[in-house]
A and B are shown apart, each in its own frame.
Chain A
Amino acid sequence: MTPLTWIRIILVAAFFGVLEILCRTRVIKPVTMIPPSEMVRELGALLASGSIYDDIRQTLAAVAIALVLAVVSGFPIGVVLHAVPRLRRAVDPLLATYYAVPFFVFYPVLVAIFGLSQWPVIVIAFMFAVVAMVISTLNGLDRIPRVLDKVARIHNMGAVETALRLKLPAAAPHLFTGLKLAVAYSFIGVIACEFIMAASGLGYAIAYAYNNFDNRTMYALMLFVLALVTTINMALHVWERRLLRRRVR
Chain B
Amino acid sequence: MMGFRPVTLPVRGPGDRLTALFWRRPDLLLVLLLAPPLLWLGVVYLGSLAALLLQSFYSIDEFSGLVVQEFTLKTYLELLRPSNFDILLRTVGMAAAVTLGCAVIAFPIAYYAARYARGRWKAAFYLGVMLPLWSSYLVKVYAWKLILSKEGIVTWATDAAGASAVLNAVLALPVIGGNSLSTSYIGTWIVFVYVWLPYMILPMQAALERVPQSMLEASADLGATRAQTLRRVILPLALPGVIAGSIFTFSLTLGDYIIPQIIGSSRLFIGQAVYTLQGTAGNIPLAAAFAVVPIAVMLVYLALAKRMGAFDAL
Decide whether A and B are members of one complex.
Answer: no
